Amino acid sequence: MDLDLTAADEAFRAEARAWLSAQVPAVPLPSLETAEGFSAHREWEHRLAADRWSVVSWPEEYGGRGASLLQWLLFEEEYYAAGAPGRVGQNGISLLAPTLFEHGTDEQRARVLGPMARGEVIWAQAWSEPESGSDLASLRSTAVRTDGGWLLNGQKTWSSRAAFADRAFGLFRSDPDAARPHQGLSYLMFALDAPGVTVRPLGRLDGKPAFAELFLDEVFVPDADVIGEPGRGWQVAMSTAGNERGLTLRSPGRFTAAAGRLAALWREAPQTAGPALGERVADALIGARAYQLFAYAHASRLAAGGSIGAESSLNKVFWSELDIALHETALDLLGPYGMLADDADEAPAHGSWAEGYTFSLAGPIYAGTNEIQRDIIAERLLGLPKGRR
pLDDT digits (tens, 9 = 90+) for 345-377: 777 777 889 889 988 998 898 877 898 889 889
- Strands (E) across the chain are located at 123-126, 142-146, 149-156, 167-173, 185-191, 197-202, 211-222, 226-227
Which candidate, 107, 82, 99, places its Cα nearest to that of 22? 82
Question: Contact 158/133 with Cβ under 8 angstroms?
Answer: yes
Strand-pairing partners, residue 170, are 126, 188
Question: Which pLDDT value is given to residue 242?
Answer: 66
Strand-pairing partners, residue 220, are 151
Coil, helix or strand at residue 189: strand
**Cβ burial 221-241 (10 Å sphere, 16+ → b, else e):** beeebbbbebbbbbebbebbb
Q: How far apart are CA 307 and CA 284, in angstroms?
A: 28
Q: For each of the chain's 389 residues, which pLDDT tens digit applies? A: 667 889 999 999 999 999 999 999 998 899 899 999 999 999 999 999 999 999 999 999 999 999 998 999 999 999 999 999 999 999 999 999 999 999 999 999 999 999 999 999 999 999 889 977 667 888 999 999 999 999 999 999 999 899 999 999 999 999 999 988 889 999 999 999 999 999 999 988 888 898 999 999 999 999 999 999 999 999 888 877 666 666 667 889 999 999 999 999 999 877 667 788 899 999 999 999 999 998 888 888 888 887 777 788 888 899 999 999 999 999 999 988 887 777 777 777 778 898 899 889 988 988 778 988 898 899 988 999 876 55
Question: Which pLDDT value is given to residue 247?
Answer: 66
Query: Strand 167-173 vs strand 226-227: parallel, antiparallel, or unpaired?
Result: unpaired
Largest CA distance in the chain: 71
Query: Strand 167-173 vs strand 123-126: parallel, antiparallel, or unpaired?
Result: parallel
Query: In Å, how far are 251, 309, 355 from 74, measured between CA atoms?
Result: 10, 23, 25
| DSSP 8-state secondary structure symbol assigned to residue 194 | S
Report the catalytic residues.
244
